[in-house]
Amino acid sequence: MRNLFRIAVFICLTAMLCSCASVSMVDTWRNPSLRGEGIRKVLVVGFSPKQSSRVVYEDTLVSELSSHGVEGVASYSVNQGNALPDWYALDRAVRRVGAQAVLTVQTIKVERQTTVQPSAVATPYPGYWYPPAFPDWDFPGYYRSMAAYGPTYVTTYDIATMQVNLFDARSDKLLWAGTIEATEPEKVTRVGKELASKVVKALRKEGVF
């Protein structure tokens, strides 16, 4: 019974891990020619065809920035309408709010991945052809041979590659860039929170804030 319990726990944990979105920072780059220190106000722009996703990414980044003493301004709160503003409108927004930098986030691509968890193979006890051995069957032997059995699990999920850029508002040059991979990108709220945490942590490590 103990082996069966362990197998059940393993299956449940595997299912839970597969159902959770996760975000990882794949690579970062810092412009060596720009200092970019002491930035205290940032305009956050989320590039997404879905307005709801754009709002989530901008709000979570603004919230994370604020928790570290940096004022963030969501672009959707500055520009009217659901569509992303053109460059000139965005430039006016930067000047209007007095932002020192512009932080952008965009999904570059989404790929479908499949993983296969092989089953544990168990040989039927005492063999495949039971009649000759039937008198010799006992429960301990049967249990030990079958307790490790488990079905094959196939999991399909999406991985999104996302690009996060920080531009210096004065020179318009790229100050910092980060590449992020996120599983289950459709779970926008969870991905947005993890992304914001990792991005701001990386920027603080670089001494930008």
User: What does the CA dihedral 62, 97, 172, 25 come to, rounded to 10 degrees?
Assistant: 0
Give the count of beta carbons closer than 10 Å to the beta carbon of residue 24: 12
> Whole-model pTM?
0.73
Cα distance between the two ends of the chain: 55
The verdict on residue 148 lying in a domain is no
Q: What are the Cα distances from residue 95, in Å, to 63, 88, 105, 147, 182?
A: 21, 11, 20, 68, 33
The verdict on residue 11 lying in a domain is no
% pLDDT > 70, the chain: 72
The verdict on residue 16 lying in a domain is no
pLDDT digits (tens, 9 = 90+) for 18-70: 445 689 999 999 999 987 778 999 999 999 889 999 999 999 999 999 999 99
**Band of residue 7 on the pLDDT scale cut at 50, 70, 90:** very low
| CATH number for position 94 | 3.40.50.800
The verdict on residue 4 lying in a domain is no
Residue 199, domain extent: 23-116+157-205
Q: What are the Cα distances from residue 131, in Å, to 39, 143, 161, 167?
A: 80, 19, 57, 76
The verdict on residue 146 lying in a domain is no
What's the CA gap between 84 and 49, in Å, rounded?
9
Count the domains in the chain.
1
Element (H, E) at 72: strand 71-74
3-state secondary structure of 108: strand
**Token pair listed for 2:** 């103990």
